[in-house]
Structure 1
Amino acid sequence: MHGVQRVRQSAEAVAAKKLREQSKIREYLALTDEVLAKKAAEDWSREALGLTTRLLQINPEFYTVWNYRRNILLRGVFPESSPAEINDFLTDDLSMTTLALKMHPKVYWIWSHRRWCLENVPDGPGTDAEGDINGWRKINWERELFVVDKMLNADSRNFHAWSYRRYVLARMPDARSETAELAYTTRKIEANFSNFSAWHQRSKLLTSLWGSGKLEYSKSKEEEFELVRNAMYTDPNDQSAWIYHRWLMGAGADKEVLEREIAVIQELLDEQSDSKWCMESLVHYKRLLLQKHSSMIDVGKVTNDCRRLLRELRGIDPARQRRYEDIGACSIADHTMF
């Protein structure tokens, strides 16, 4: 690190460190050989389960060992256990993966094993904090939502955690309302406008709420435009809000909405004259005007605007010059070429 004086290690210290590392590697390789040998021998014992625990704590990306662990539980441990004991085993595995996710929050195999654990919790009695009787399934699923909340507090943009959250919400015995989840995404977005995963979750929720009629479409959509405009103005260079804005506009926006949003983006471009996302969005929406509403607009002016913006984009974003050239060469609805 800059400004930190390096401490020169003695030759003896370097050699000792190298020996420790070599010893750890030998131990890991020996443990791997032992686990894989037991797997090949179809050893479903609790001793084998303990060995997989040790190995996965060292290397949680070893998906073959996760698969073996599940087979041990299904074929060796669960058949000789009571439902309460099975629940205890699965609770232990959930705790083990919670610790693993703190160090490795984006390892798919850890999230996958949590799903398997939840799906295999047996029916049975349990007691919640208020003393009411609940099944083990309900208790575990509710606890799981709390865990994923903690994960997203630590890293609100972890797409693995967002995907897992959707999975948990879809399968909870007592379904969380979509409006409550929409409020959750609002909090996450307002805390960090660049949270692409939260925007994505929001689009899924709104599609469902609008489709079911649980949320009034016109009023709600205008509120979404206000939210996404705030994000665009806060950080014009962050792509998350622009992608969401494009989803919100859709492919069939009416002329009034297109012209309104073009004016909003042009106003932002006047303040941020080198904003690539402003220029790209203006080209996209002006092309929609040409394609959908050519009979009601000045085609020559809008076409020239697109040509000018694409020239500017080639200048400020030379790495994508060919892309802008391809856009400019595309035919539009009335066969005009820009």
Structure 2
Amino acid sequence: MSAEASTQPATEPKKEDEEEEEEDEEESSIVDDDELWKDITPIPQADAERPMVQIAYHPEYRKAMNLFRGLLEQDERSERALKLTSVILQYNGAHYTVWNYRSQILKHLHQTDPEGKHIQKELGMLNKYMGDMRKSYQAWQHRALMVELLEDVSKEIAFVDKVLKADTKNYHTWTYRQSLLCRYNQPEMWAGELSAIEGLLVEDIRNNSAWNHRFFLSFDTFPLHSPDLTPEQFTKIVDREIEFTKQQILKAPNNPSAWNYLRGVLRRGSRGLNSVEEFVIPLTKTAHELDAENSWPIDLNKRSDLPVPAAVELLADIYSESQSKIKQALELYDLLAEKLDPIRKGYWQFRSQRTGPKQVTA
């Protein structure tokens, strides 16, 4: 190297984002590389001769799909096929066939890649774009297959937590989380789940997805994470969940998620509805009545709208189980129909008819 050349500034190493941008440009440009595809016969989409509605596909997408069909017919699993799927998914991120083909390509490439570089790179791409694709079940299924190939789930719960920060109620994210827990059943994965869910409920007490996951942890999966659970320990879990739910109801009495959860816990714990009658009664009264009786529950939010329809319904259900309190149950169903929940008046009338004394005809 000459002295003059040596004075030129050294080329700085490319940043990861710059490398990814170059790869995106390369993947996009491969569609127009006729030399690359000279051995592939493009297969056009089999549309009707004169379709009623002609879909205006982007020219690049149309060309990429024609090449894709040609590759698919040969079942080619190569680097160029992988790049072509990237182009297509940029236009249509919900294309199940393309996602499935991409998974099969990576599975094939992984067989000659003992260090798992292809899979790690793919997970890196998914980490970057999963926030935008979080409502695509195809993308989540693809991720699950990649994790299975890599055989490393150590970072997955943390990744799911990150996605949930953007959308705490996304069905696909929660389904993926639960599948991870059940499939891999690692103690360290279960360890922080309950506290994580409590954190989400503190942020949003009405997050029905978090309530559902709490029930999943406490009652649906203990044979996995607590296989030696004794009846006494199970009783303590039921007691814990009942008390936890009561406290959340007092914070936001008109939150249906908590009321549904309470019913589920009572049912799973083989507890009668009447076991919470004392707790429910104050929530079926007006604020004026509670003031007059000086009977406000200690932790009840004083700004709550009272009476609470869900509490009235639960108390009506409790009374309907006792023959001596049928009349009181009917009065509560009538209260729901006429004042508290008139939009479902027909339903409450139906419940009342089902509860009332049967008429005997001659």
TM-score, structure 2 as length reference:
0.68
In the alignment, which of 260, 264, 268 is matched to residue 243 of structure 1? 260
Partner of 1:325: 349
Q: CA shift at 1:54, angstroms?
A: 1.8
Partner of 1:82: 113
Q: CA shift at 1:211, angstroms?
A: 7.0
> Structure 1 residues 211, 322: closer, same or farther in 2, change over 3 A?
farther
193-202 vs 60-69, which moves further? 193-202
Distance 1:111 1:305 in 2: 51
Distance 1:43 1:180 in 2: 43
In the alignment, which of 315, 327, 330 is matched to residue 307 of structure 1? 330
Aligned-partner SS, 2:153: helix
Distance 1:211 1:279 in 2: 38
- Larger helix proportion of the pair: 1
Question: Percent identical across equivalent pairs?
Answer: 25
> Structure 1 residues 324, 109: closer, same or farther in 2, change over 3 A?
same
Distance 1:83 1:265 in 2: 61
Q: CA shift at 1:50, angstroms?
A: 0.1
Q: Does 1:269 align with 2:313?
A: no
**AA paired with 2:205?**
F
Q: CA shift at 1:117, angstroms?
A: 0.7
Instruction: Flag structure 2 segments of 5+ consecutive residues without an equivalent.
Output: 1-54, 288-304
Distance 1:336 1:177 in 2: 53
Q: Does 1:49 align with 2:82?
A: yes
Partner of 1:10: none
45-54 vs 261-270, which moves further? 261-270
> Structure 1 residues 281, 25: closer, same or farther in 2, change over 3 A?
farther
Asked whether the equivalents of residues 141 and 173 of structure 1 are also in contact (C-alpha less than 8 Å), the reply is: no
Aligned-partner SS, 1:102: coil
Partner of 1:142: 154
**AA paired with 1:58?**
Y
Asked whether the equivalents of residues 106 and 119 of structure 2 are also in contact (C-alpha less than 8 Å), the reply is: no
**AA paired with 2:234?**
Y
Equivalence map 1:11-50=2 (5 Å): 25-50=58-83
Size of the alignment, in residue pairs?
281
Partner of 1:131: none
- CA deviation string 1:26-67 (max 9, x = no partner): 333332333233223323221111010122133221111011
Distance 2:227 2:314 in 1: 27
Distance 1:251 1:72 in 2: 45
Aligned-partner SS, 1:193: coil
Partner of 1:126: none
Partner of 1:93: 122
Q: CA shift at 1:193, angstroms?
A: 1.4
Q: CA shift at 1:178, angstroms?
A: 4.1
Equivalence map 1:251-262=2 (5 Å): 253-254=270-271, 258-262=273-277
Q: Does 1:73 align with 2:102?
A: no
Aligned-partner SS, 2:135: coil
Asked whether the equivalents of residues 71 and 81 of structure 2 are also in contact (C-alpha less than 8 Å), the reply is: yes
Instruction: Flag structure 1 segments of 5+ consecutive residues without an equivalent.
Output: 1-21, 122-136
Distance 1:113 1:324 in 2: 46
Asked whether the equivalents of residues 262 and 286 of structure 1 are also in contact (C-alpha less than 8 Å), the reply is: no
Cα RMSD, aligned residues only = 2.9
Distance 2:164 2:268 in 1: 32
Q: CA shift at 1:181, angstroms?
A: 2.1
Asked whether the equivalents of residues 169 and 175 of structure 1 are also in contact (C-alpha less than 8 Å), the reply is: no
Asked whether the equivalents of residues 276 and 317 of structure 1 are also in contact (C-alpha less than 8 Å), the reply is: yes
Partner of 1:16: none
Distance 1:172 1:251 in 2: 25
Partner of 1:281: 314
**AA paired with 2:114?**
P
Partner of 1:3: none
Specify the structure having the higher radius of gyration (Cα).
2
Partner of 1:160: 172
